[in-house]
Structure 1
Amino acid sequence: MRKTKLPVMKDQKDYKILIADDEPDILEFVTYNLIKEGYQVSTARNGMEAVEKAKEVQPHLILLDIMMPELDGVEVCRELRSQPEFEHTIIAFLTARSEDYSQIVGFEVGGDDYITKPIRPRVLISRIAALLRRYNNSPQEEGDQIRVADLVIDKERVLVIRGEEEIALAKKEFELLCLLASKPGKVFAREEIFKNVWGNDVIVGNRTIDVHIRKIREKIGEYYIKTIKGIGYKFEF
């Protein structure tokens, strides 16, 4: 496995942000506040334009409205996540739709965060800054090892190493931890976890994920994995 490492950004002017929204007032409002903070900002007024602009600009972070013409935000996210160059791009939904169903769908297609409108400028700036810190804190892969937080996840030996301690996990526990740790801070919906760890053809009980999470916490510690009520789990440190 080749070593993968994202370039570390120094300050806001190094970050490129793409905003996609079909409401001109929202575009103007968000663009003004982000430029004021020093970010490089590009905009798109519909889903198709968002995909094209993302390929052109290669942004570090994309803010997507869900309800857009041509392609909606969910379709844009799904399209971008299917392409390797957007594997590490942070994608957040900025939308007036606050129902649980929309949030779950957003996370299932690969969204990293879900921000509901209306939102105050300082709160939005704070959320974006937190998301971009995740970009610099992405796990580093060296050979068959993933280093994230104070853990070393050794894929070849199916071991987790914390300091001098070697922690053995069961196969599915290990696969579940690898998935969550692959994107620290990202919320993985339950359906996405089932698909990636157990596969679509395997039937497991509704409590299967919860039981595995509990066992992982018992072995590596309570504070690495956070429960997002009604949606799923995320690795956080």
Structure 2
Amino acid sequence: MMPPATPPPAQVPPHGPPRRVLIVEDDPTVAEVVTGYLSRAGYATEHAADGFAALDRAAAFRPHLVVLDLMLPGIDGLEVCRRLRRTADGPAVPVVMLTARGEEADRILGLELGADDYVTKPFSPRELVLRIGSVLRRAEAAPPAGGHSPALRAGDLTADPGARRADRAGRELALTAREFDLLVFLLRNPGQVFSREELLHRVWGWEFGDLSTVTVHVRRLREKIEDDPAAPRLVTTVWGAGYRFDPAGGGLRP
């Protein structure tokens, strides 16, 4: 399923400790291969073979990212993801799901629960390492050199790209890494219409992929920033074209 190949370069900060990745996978062969690739790419890894062990290891290991198989003994990956989100006492740990090709409904539900990305089995371990690096870079993105990236505001909505924090009416929003990236992109491009393909490329950095990923993240973002997510006024749908951010309160202000 996963032929040998040279792993990508190390994905660790130049002046910091290795990033910790918790691998939650009940298939020992898959877990061994993924662990090997991540270790050679410079990550510190831990492995859990079932859902209950995953929650215990997450509390003790405090990973920077979780690779989470959906089909697990004990409690399944969806419930693990749900509990990780519920117990987070700060920014939610990024989650990359491992799913089978026939699990589209579960994959969409996982994205709705806050998973940041997914890889479909059978998969290339090299691709998984690259996806993990992409999610971590976005989750840990630093402000540009030479100064703090200015906050973006639209009405009572504020997003600070440097601090990776978003507020609405002074109350912090609990956004995943991808939801935050999507919000910042929309705030920076008010009034423009973007197709799902364009958002997948410009926010996720993917040249191709499942467009339902974008649909789910737009829906989740609406649930957190709209007064009535069923009748959105900020992130609107332009039928046949895509999505547009219509800033409230007189437009975008630096």
- Is it true that 1:75 corresponds to 2:79 in the alignment? yes
Q: Do the aligned partners of 1:64 and 1:73 also contact (CA within 8 Å) in 2?
A: yes
Q: Equivalent of 2:224, from 181, 196, 199? A: 196
The alignment-based identity, stated in percent, is 32
Partner of 1:130: 134
- 1:153 maps to amino acid: L
Partner of 1:210: 237
Separation in 2 of the partners of 1:125 and 1:202?
A: 35
Separation in 2 of the partners of 1:40 and 1:50?
A: 16
Report the number of matched residues: 191
Residues 178-224 of structure 1 deviation map (CA, whole Å, 9 limit, x = unaligned) = 7843797595534423432346x76438xx7424942449x77xxxx
Separation in 2 of the partners of 1:85 and 1:178?
A: 17
Separation in 2 of the partners of 1:128 and 1:160?
A: 24
Q: CA RMSD in A?
A: 4.1
Separation in 2 of the partners of 1:178 and 1:117?
A: 27
Q: Do the aligned partners of 2:98 and 2:120 also contact (CA within 8 Å) in 1?
A: yes
Residues 12-161 of structure 1 correspond to what in structure 2 (within 5 A)?
14-85=18-89, 87-137=91-141, 152-154=151-153
TM-score normalised by the chain length of structure 2: 0.60
Q: Do the aligned partners of 1:95 and 1:115 also contact (CA within 8 Å) in 2?
A: yes
Helix, strand or coil: the match of 1:196? Answer: helix
Relative distance call for 1:132 and 1:70 in structure 2 (3 A) is: same
In structure 2, the gaps of 5 or more residues are 1-11, 161-168, 186-202, 205-212
C-alpha displacement of 1:70: 1.4
Structure 1 runs of 4+ off > 6 angstroms? 175-179
Relative distance call for 1:137 and 1:122 in structure 2 (3 A) is: same
Structure with the higher helix share, 1 or 2: 1
In structure 1, the gaps of 5 or more residues are 1-7, 141-146, 162-170, 221-237
Separation in 2 of the partners of 1:124 and 1:55?
A: 23
C-alpha displacement of 1:80: 0.6
Helix, strand or coil: the match of 1:78? Answer: helix
Separation in 1 of the partners of 2:50 and 2:66?
A: 13
Q: Do the aligned partners of 1:139 and 1:182 also contact (CA within 8 Å) in 2?
A: no
Helix, strand or coil: the match of 2:84? Answer: helix
Relative distance call for 1:97 and 1:39 in structure 2 (3 A) is: same
Q: Do the aligned partners of 2:151 and 2:159 also contact (CA within 8 Å) in 1?
A: yes
Helix, strand or coil: the match of 1:115? Answer: strand
Relative distance call for 1:117 and 1:158 in structure 2 (3 A) is: closer
Helix, strand or coil: the match of 1:92? Answer: strand
Partner of 2:190: none
Helix, strand or coil: the match of 1:214? Answer: strand
Separation in 1 of the partners of 2:137 and 2:229?
A: 36
